[in-house]
Every structure is written in C-alpha cells, then in structure tokens.
C-alpha cells in the first residue's frame, strides 16, 4: 500500500540515503526509486490558468504551464492541488462579483478536467481516502486548494 509522503519526509529520506551510509550511485538511485514507488507524492500548490481547461487546449497536453498530466506522469507526481486563487480587487460590490466569478471559473475548470476532458486519467479527491483509492487505481489525483 502506498503511503503519503510529505516534502519534509522526502528531504529527510534523501539526506539519510545520501549521507547516512556509504553507497554507490546505483544503490542510491535504486533506493530513491523504491521510495518514490512506495509513496503517494503530492504537490500542494499548483496555480492554474482556466484558458488551459478547454477541449482544444488542456492539461492532457504538454503545455508550458506549471503542471500538466504528462508532466505529472513523467515526474511521478500522484496528486496535484489545483489552486482556486483570486487576487483582492476593489472592495466593492463589483469587485466582490469579479472575485466570485473568477473563483467559480477555476472550480468549474477543475471539475471540467476531471469529469469531461480527462476522466480516465485524473479524478477529483475530496478526502484522504479518495486519494488512496484513486492513486491505487492508477489515475492521477486532483485536489482543490483555496
């Protein structure tokens, strides 16, 4: 069963592997690959651009964006926290309305990716139990951060 590994734990394991014992390069690489295979890796902050969540241009392609599904697969990243961020604009009814619409656009984009664009490749997780289930199935995991 895969375990969730935090960045701090990964750094500690890497330091231990590199400095805790004398081992050759191949041995260290094999240990690192085993650790990576045995854990669920996650990135807790992936900014998104909703222009990249259309049928024509989306995260199934190798875009110049921070994260894409091909980049996740290539790097062994299991979970991406897609961030719903909206900057603070004018503190007025119009400003609040723009912020709300921007946030909803991002929520909708993430749901569109997981439900319409690439449901066979990535699924939205709402709980840690979902994360484990989805990762075990071989799919990538999307989570939403606000």
Collapsing DSSP states into helix, strand and coil, what is residue 141? Answer: strand
- Local structure of residue 110 (DSSP, 8 states): H
For residue 144, what are its two tokens?
A: 């939403």
* Location of structure tokens 């939403």: 144
Spans of all domains in the chain: 1-40, 41-145
Rounded to the nearest 10 degrees, how much is the dihedral formed by the CA atoms of 66, 72, 75, 81?
70
Q: What is the pLDDT of residue 25?
A: 81
For residue 135, what are its two tokens?
A: 């990762």
| Angle between helix 7-19 and helix 25-38 axes, rounded to 10 deg | 160
Tens digits of per-residue pLDDT, 31-54? 888 888 889 999 999 999 999 888
CA distance linking residue 96 with residue 50, whole number of Å: 19
Q: What is the pLDDT of residue 10?
A: 59
Q: What is the pLDDT of residue 3?
A: 54
Tens digits of per-residue pLDDT, 110-140? 999 999 999 999 999 999 999 999 999 999 9
Q: Alpha carbon of 89 to those of 69, 94, 102, 103: distances in Å?
A: 31, 9, 11, 13
Tens digits of per-residue pLDDT, 64-107? 888 999 999 998 999 999 999 998 888 999 999 999 999 999 99
Q: What is the pLDDT of residue 92?
A: 93
């Amino acid at each position: 069963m895969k375990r969730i590994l935090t960045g701090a734990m990964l750094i500690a394991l890497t330091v231990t592997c590199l400095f805790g014992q004398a081992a050759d390069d191949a041995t260290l690489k094999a240990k690192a690959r085993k650790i990576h295979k045995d854990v669920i890796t996650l990135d807790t902050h992936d900014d998104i651009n909703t222009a990249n969540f259309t049928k024509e241009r989306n995260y199934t392609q190798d875009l110049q964006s921070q994260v894409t599904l091909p980049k996740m697969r290539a790097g062994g990243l299991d979970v991406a926290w897609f961030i719903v961020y909206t900057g603070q604009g004018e503190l007025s009814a119009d400003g609040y309305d723009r912020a709300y619409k921007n946030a909803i656009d991002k929520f909708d984009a993430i749901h569109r990716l997981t439900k319409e664009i690439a449901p066979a490749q990535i699924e939205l997780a709402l709980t840690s139990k979902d994360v484990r289930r989805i990762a075990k199935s071989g799919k990538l995991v999307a989570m939403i951060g606000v």
